[in-house]
Chains A and B, each alone.
Chain A
């Protein structure tokens, strides 16, 4: 498929949890396949809600969302997990299981696919090596530093080579050095053709990468800035 094809299309999407109180209001956006973009805005601007709509955690109150050619509102219960397997998600709080080893945490994304155990181990090892964590594969998350935990979460999001990577404040809990390290890993996924959306309020970080920036305020898109030559 051509690089310019859309991975994500949102048409006049709104999301309200209470009557007359919109978390997101009349948002229409399109992200091309392989595009790397930032969602910015202050707390409560709707960044997290937008990402939640994209991976099917929430349904829009109004409007339509087409992700990887599938209209999320019309997907049945069986099809949503299938779509979610094509989307990697990274959170600020890592969402790792403390009972499981690093290897088992990352392998969960392959377990749901029924991937053979030997193949799972090989692919998990490969992604951990790529992220410099191969020596930590038998450790449990709580014995790792914050940066290492986030790298494990990124490994889990990327291990099944998703077509879209959504990251919600992935560096929110990290110091500046680790922030750059993590962002470079996320940017690396875009270089390999994954559509990457990063929600962050760290404007310095956004400026450093020179990519498309969608700014939200009060649930509305107030700016959609595309620097010249910033397709990905």
Chain B
């Protein structure tokens, strides 16, 4: 092992000794970071699921153009060819009145008897317009809808534009609240870690004096405290992920049904990478807090 590796080994031992030597303050720091990250993580989890649902939903986003009953087959084919040339349109599929009726019957199942008394098919023919992926947004859809609106033979246009816009607003609110709350909690956790490490520095003043005496550089004396803060933060992150997972599993059954009913998807927990990111955020908080604590406190 080279000199640097030996020093790293020493820093690890010294940090572990520090954590063991003050179990109460260590536990306070770990729990504080853990609780802060549980809330931050809960918002991140909610956002991830909302964004994922939006992605899934966006795949199915399309504009539907309902046609006048007077539109002939030739005119319908012409409309299809015109709409295909509109920028942002990927594919146009024609749905005849009879196909629309068949779909309706299949969709309502036993309730299809409702249509038995009608003399004629009340459902209009339509054109289902698929958008290129870049246009599957409220703004993209609006542009396409405006381009198509007014073409002869089109009676009405429908799209998920308003729904998506509302959903995006909800995501923005969750993100805003999450970021605001995360910043406040991060500052609170940071202050507590800074205070804990500062107490540790004071408690180990004698050790620092002796390290200084035998030629320890400032960096050498500070690093075990940085490692300590880093470990406290990382352990807090692990606690947060474990707690979130426990809560996720506990509320999943009820949540799953609601999710499935409303949006047809399944909620999911963090991936391994996302969980590691949350733990990394804890470690970074710990490192920052300890860096603030040791800054200028060790003898130079």
A binds B: yes
Chain A residues engaging chain B, CB cutoff 8 angstroms: 55, 77-78, 81-86, 89, 95-97, 99, 108-109, 111-117, 156, 160
* A77/B218 contact (C-beta < 8 A), A114-B4, A117-B6 known: yes
Given A55-B213, A97-B206, A109-B215, 20 extra CB contacts under 8 A: A77-B218, A77-B300, A81-B215, A81-B217, A81-B218, A82-B215, A83-B215, A84-B212, A84-B213, A84-B215, A85-B214, A85-B215, A95-B213, A96-B210, A111-B10, A112-B214, A113-B215, A114-B2, A114-B6, A114-B10
Pick the contact of B220: A86, A95, A109, A112 (CB < 8 A). Answer: A112
| A114 and B214 contacting across the interface, CB-CB below 8 Å | no
Q: Which residues of A contact B207 (CB under 8 A)?
A: 97, 99
Complex Cα–Cα for A37 and B64 (A): 101
| A78 and B217 contacting across the interface, CB-CB below 8 Å | yes
The distance from the CB of A52 to the nearest CB of chain B, in whole angstroms, is 11
* Interface SS of B by simple majority: helix
* A112/B6 contact (C-beta < 8 A), A97-B207, A99-B21 known: no
Chain B residues engaging chain A, CB cutoff 8 angstroms: 1-4, 6-7, 9-10, 17, 21, 206-207, 209-218, 220, 300
Closest to A111 in B: B10
* A156/B214 contact (C-beta < 8 A), A77-B300, A99-B17, A117-B9 known: yes
Complex Cα–Cα for A111 and B214 (A): 9
Q: Which residues of A contact B6 (CB under 8 A)?
A: 114-117
| B209 and A95 contacting across the interface, CB-CB below 8 Å | yes
| B3 and A113 contacting across the interface, CB-CB below 8 Å | yes
Q: Which residues of B contact A160 (CB under 8 A)?
A: 214
Pick the contact of A112: B1, B9, B206, B215 (CB < 8 A). Answer: B215
Instruction: Pick 19 A–B contacts, CB within 8 A, sort by A.
Output: A55-B213, A77-B300, A78-B217, A81-B212, A83-B215, A84-B215, A86-B215, A89-B213, A95-B206, A97-B207, A108-B210, A108-B214, A109-B215, A111-B7, A112-B211, A114-B7, A114-B10, A116-B6, A160-B214
